[in-house]
């Protein structure tokens, strides 16, 4: 990366200056203390390194120490200037040409860092109850979670994606009772859900259960009356509705290009005995006690604000009990790190789970929890609220309305800790106002430029065939045997675009480190803007064949990097629009 290149130059210069005893009282230097910045004013250079922090060791004024260090920097075709305590660099044609050459050579692998500390990561996200269709919030976790998995894989980690099915609680009983009402309605009985608000909480009255009821009756064709309905055990309705809704969820995930490696059932966790085993382990370690008939975990011993109940007085487990066993099981399966994406309303839950891991002898720092804010769906300027207990706008409704690409991009383009306003009308627009259209159009434009350069045309007046600026074979050979010296022909107008392409390498490292994907969305918008600016100010296809080849190579490099970034987001990079 260029920032590392210039940092190394400065660090080498510091070492030489110390050896020559030119830095006053400074006798040694530890690498890693300086920071590379991007100057706010591009006229000041491409990168700036602040060396003023060394002044207190050298007992020299910041401008003096900066100038002294600069004297020991190797002279190449890069430019550098000293501004106060900063050494500013402007990349020369060699570095910029090498960068374009690197993109063309590495192609879809450009941006992948080398020599990383690879980890085996289990990434859990969405983990919705199988009691109804996904709501809009689930769409945010789906888009961000799968994009994060792609990012971490691109970085070099081994990533295993898991969906934890919450199918062991009382909500499944509510689902079964709700299906019974819908089945009876289908059979003509005048029955409805309770109107009392408290009683209504024991049901899911949404219309989405109507097709489930129809499917149930189709499968059980021997049911002819409501009396037959009451003869069937509640668990049959529970299982049917749960399996139906699980399949609905999985079908939508496939549509959204979200691929899980495993769907882990909470119910099977209980049946396996793992939950009870964890409770016994905690008991052996003296970390649980009984009070008022309930079993409590001493989570306050590990930083939680208070102790937590893991088994109620009626003998049933709390949600925490299963989560303890589930997360301990992840580490038992050999994963180096666990990353969970939870809603912000679960922030108090983090300390409890980490405390349980520590109590069981595991490193709690192996668990990372990303807390995400909700999504506000905006239609015609009005916010639409969502919930399973009434008719709602579902995630599937949204996908059908705006498409998969727009859904994924919009859901990923804000920091996870920021509430997202999803403007459905804007997301559908085929204009530059819509960020996903703006970015995709840039890729399609790059493809169009290459097609126009390599394809024959017909003069509309004479009907004569106009030969291409460069044949397809010549273009293929240009890319296959690229001469990086060509780039020097177009550096003046392409400089900013090349530097933006170079940022992709640093972006992958910081985004993977910080578990952020909104940075990828922001980058592709900035990259598209630089390309559109380059295109609007520069004629790619010219009478000068070498210049045309140089600019076509740059267009190809841009197309490559943009496609790499969009692939991480699982957003299509179209060749035509």
Query: What's the pTM?
Result: 0.93
pLDDT along the chain (577 residues), means of 10: 92 90 82 87 90 86 90 87 91 94 97 94 96 92 97 98 93 95 95 93 94 96 91 96 97 97 95 92 91 92 91 88 95 97 90 94 96 87 57 81 96 94 93 96 97 81 79 94 93 94 97 98 98 95 94 97 98 96
Per the CB < 8 A criterion, the answer to whether 474 and 576 are in contact is no
Written as six digits, the tokens of 407 are 């859904």
Task: Judge whether 124 and 160 are in contact, CB under 8 Å.
Answer: no
| Residues 420, 332: Cα–Cα separation, whole Å | 36
Query: What local confidence, expressed as pLDDT, does residue 391 receive?
Result: 44
Place of tokens 């070099």: 156
Q: Which residue has the tokens 């022909």?
A: 489
3-class DSSP state of 377: strand
What are the structural domain ranges in the chain? 2-91, 435-569
Burial class (CB in 10 A: 0-12, 13-18, 19+), 305: exposed
| pLDDT value for 387 | 42
Helices (H) and strands (E) in the chain, counts: 22, 17
- Distance, in Å, from the CA atom of 468 to the CA atom of 460, rounded to the nearest integer, reads 16
What does the pLDDT read at residue 534?
96
How many Å apart are CA 557 and CA 102, to the nearest integer? 9
CATH classification number, 2-91, choose in 3.40.50.1980, 3.30.70.3000, 3.30.1360.70, 2.60.40.420: 3.30.1360.70
In which element (H, E) is residue 161 found?
strand 158-165
With beta carbons less than 8 A apart as the criterion, state whether 45 and 10 touch.
Answer: no
Strand segments, DSSP code E, in 337-400 are: 337-343, 367-372, 375-379, 382-384
pLDDT for 385: 59
Q: What superfamily does domain 435-569 belong to in CATH?
A: Isoleucyl-tRNA Synthetase; Domain 1 (1.10.730.10)
Report the 10 Å Cβ neighbour count for 77: 10
Spatial separation of the C-alpha atoms in residues 422 and 365, rounded to whole Å = 34
Residue 384's SS3 state is strand
């Amino acid at each position: 990366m260029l920032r590392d290149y210039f940092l190394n130059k400065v660090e080498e210069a510091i070492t030489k200056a110390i050896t020559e005893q030119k830095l006053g009282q400074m006798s040694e230097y530890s690498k890693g203390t300086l920071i590379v910045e991007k100057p706010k004013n591009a006229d000041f250079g491409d990168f700036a390194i602040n060396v003023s922090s060394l002044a207190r060791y050298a007992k020299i004024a910041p401008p003096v120490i900066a100038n002294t260090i600069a004297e020991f920097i190797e002279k190449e075709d890069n430019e550098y200037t000293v501004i106060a305590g900063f050494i500013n660099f402007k990349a020369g044609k060699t570095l910029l040409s090498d960068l374009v050459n690197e993109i063309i050579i590495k192609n879809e692998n450009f941006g992948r860092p080398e020599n990383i500390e690879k980890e085996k990561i289990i990434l859990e996200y969405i983990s919705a109850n199988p009691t109804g269709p996904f709501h809009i919030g689930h769409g945010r976790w789906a888009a961000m979670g799968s994009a994060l998995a792609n990012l971490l894989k691109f970085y070099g980690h081994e990533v295993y994606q898991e969906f934890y099915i919450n199918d062991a609680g009382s909500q499944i009983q509510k689902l079964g009772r709700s299906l019974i009402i819908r089945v009876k309605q289908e059979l003509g009985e005048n029955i409805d859900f309770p109107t009392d608000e408290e009683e209504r909480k024991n049901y899911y009255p949404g219309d989405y259960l109507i097709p489930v009821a129809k499917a149930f009756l189709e499968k059980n064709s021997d049911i002819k009356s409501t009396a037959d309905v009451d003869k069937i055990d509640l668990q049959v309705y529970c299982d049917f509705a749960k399996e139906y809704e699980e399949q609905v969820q999985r079908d939508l995930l496939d549509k959204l290009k979200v691929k899980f490696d495993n769907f882990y059932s909470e119910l099977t966790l209980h049946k396996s005995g793992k939950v009870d085993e964890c409770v016994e382990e905690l008991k052996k370690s003296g970390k649980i006690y009984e009070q008022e008939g309930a079993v409590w975990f001493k989570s306050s011993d590990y930083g939680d604000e208070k102790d937590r109940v893991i088994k109620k007085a009626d003998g049933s487990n709390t949600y925490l009990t299963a989560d303890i066993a589930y997360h301990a099981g992840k580490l038992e399966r050999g994963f180096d790190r666990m990353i969970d994406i939870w809603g912000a309303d679960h922030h108090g839950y983090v300390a409890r789970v980490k405390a349980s891991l520590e109590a069981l002898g595991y490193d709690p720092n192996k668990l990372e929890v990303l807390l995400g804010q909700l999504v506000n769906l905006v239609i015609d300027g009005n916010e639409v609220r969502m919930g399973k207990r009434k008719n709602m706008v579902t995630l599937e409704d949204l996908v059908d309305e705006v498409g998969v690409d727009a859904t994924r991009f919009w859901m990923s383009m804000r920091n996870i800790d920021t509430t997202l306003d999803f403007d459905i009308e804007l997301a559908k627009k085929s204009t530059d106002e819509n960020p996903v259209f703006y970015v995709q159009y840039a890729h399609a434009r790059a493809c169009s430029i290459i097609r126009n350069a390599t394809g024959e045309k017909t003069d509309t007046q004479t009907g004569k065939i106009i030969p291409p600026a460069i044949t397809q074979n010549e273009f293929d050979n240009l890319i296959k045997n690229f001469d990086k010296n060509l780039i020097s022909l177009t550096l003046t107008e392409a400089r900013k675009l090349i530097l933006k392409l170079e940022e992709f390498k640093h972006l992958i490292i910081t985004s993977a480190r910080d578990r952020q994907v909104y940075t990828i969305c922001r980058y592709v918008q900035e990259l598209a803007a630089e390309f559109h600016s380059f295109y609007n100010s520069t004629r790619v296809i010219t009478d000068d064949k070498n210049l045309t080849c140089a600019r076509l190579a740059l267009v190809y490099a841009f197309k490559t990097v943009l496609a790499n970034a969009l692939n991480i987001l699982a957003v299509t990079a179209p060749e035509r629009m």
